[in-house]
Amino acid sequence: MFVEAFMKSRRYFIFIMLVVAMLQPVNVFATQSSSMQLQCPVCNNSLSARELMSTNNFGGVDTDFMQRPMGASPILIRPATCLKCGFSGYIDDFSDKAKENMPATFTKAILQENALKPAVELASFTDQIDMPAWAKYDLIAQVRKLENSPAGDIAHQYLCAAWSIRIEAFLSMPEEDLKKMTEFMDAKFADRFKSRDKNASVTNVEIAFDALKMSEKAEPQDARSALIGAMFLFHRYGENPNALKAMQLLAPLLASETAKVTEEALKKGIYQEQHFQKLAVENFKTAIATETNAEMKARFCYLTGEIYRRLGDLKEARAWFEQVRAIKERPAFLDEMIVEVEKRMTASE
């Protein structure tokens, strides 16, 4: 239902290459994977997949725990879907052992009752590797529901779907604007882009806020470049309410048709990501109600608050962060994360 928004723009691909060149360090330890064949445990269909061999987090970690590697993202590599019946999971879910433990009622629900509802047309793909990762995670969540898996596990699948959309987000902008934006961002922030003193994800969001602020007093062309840079970085890191704010400020500085196309694409991408964030938060709430492990409960509460923040509901976010602080056994790193996202909430208001 969302596939039309993932038509990739070559111009935006150039944009990504220019900016990512500034964002990512050069490192030989990029994500590596190898091809393999799997057999669907439900319908015995054969499918090609990728097995993750190694990865890293050189690109930092977002405040909702999405890791950013140098090279391809494991988030896009790990899920697999049988294009014949829709069964979806990870490599272990396609093993002989998984098939042996699969109840007949489960396979019947998929094969005879059509319990799985793909968000894209499976028949339109000749290889499951080409299928968008978010649609695979959506199906994994459906499979987990059929298996009566814990709500926290289901929530994680929806969160992975949201992450996939964030990673694969594409917009279209005139090449001249992208060139000037890159020159402006490089001139203003080159040292900070290259710095590895702290989490690169945090640094890049800080740069986005600074670019947004710079646009207020800049000459029209610099303001235009600053706002394009801020919009891209906010959207790239899932700070979507601020990406919309940057777009609203940018629109009057663009040709009307460019502004219309860019805003429509941005809103589609945001809608897609937030759709799965909402599903994730519903399941995190269910998980919190029954979770007995205090540390895990604190993590679920934090993610619930952080998703609400990313949805733009700051009041709800603050209430959940207070619940995290009320859990004495919470991991210490959650306090640091809350301090960081509270800074962003203040900057957004």
Is 97 buried (19+), middle (13-18) or exposed (0-12) by CB count in 10 A? exposed
Per the CB < 8 A criterion, the answer to whether 70 and 59 are in contact is yes
Asked if 266 and 295 touch (Cβ cutoff 8 Å), the reply is: no
Q: Which residues contact 307 (CB under 8 A, 6 or more apart)?
A: 64, 159, 277, 278, 280, 281, 284
At 87-112, the pLDDT tens digits run 999 999 999 999 999 999 999 999 99
Tens digits of per-residue pLDDT, 286-332? 999 999 999 999 999 999 999 999 999 999 999 999 999 999 999 99
Span 128-174, pLDDT tens digits: 999 999 999 999 999 999 999 999 999 999 999 999 999 988 787 89
pLDDT in tens, 11-52: 443 344 344 444 444 444 567 778 899 999 999 999 999 887
For the chain, the average pLDDT equals 90
| 200 contacts 57 by C-beta, under 8 angstroms | no
Question: 196 and 308 share a domain?
Answer: no
Q: Judge if 161 and 236 occupy the same domain.
A: no
- One domain, residues 101 and 39: yes
Q: Are residues 327 and 187 in the same domain?
A: no
| Residue 53 pLDDT | 72
Q: Which of 50-64, 143-157, 253-267 has the lowest mean pLDDT?
A: 50-64
pLDDT at residue 29, as a whole number: 59
Burial 231-252 (b: 16+ CB within 10 A, else e): bbbbbbbbbbbbbbbbbebbee
60 and 38 within one domain: yes
Domain-terminating residue out of 215, 235, 268: 268
- The verdict on residue 275 lying in a domain is no
Quick check: is 280 in a domain? no
On whether both 155 and 183 belong to a single domain, the answer is no
Q: Are residues 162 and 181 in the same domain?
A: no
For the chain, the domain total comes to 3
The more confidently predicted of residues 332 and 8 is 332
Same domain, 148 and 180: no
Q: Are 139 and 114 in contact (CB under 8 A)?
A: no
Identify whether residues 20 and 157 lie together within a single domain: yes
Residues 70-77 have a mean pLDDT of 88
Helices (H) and strands (E) in the chain — how many of each? 14, 4
Domain that holds residue 66: 3-167
pTM of the model: 0.90
> Roughly how many angstroms between the first and final C-alpha of the chain, as a whole number?
33
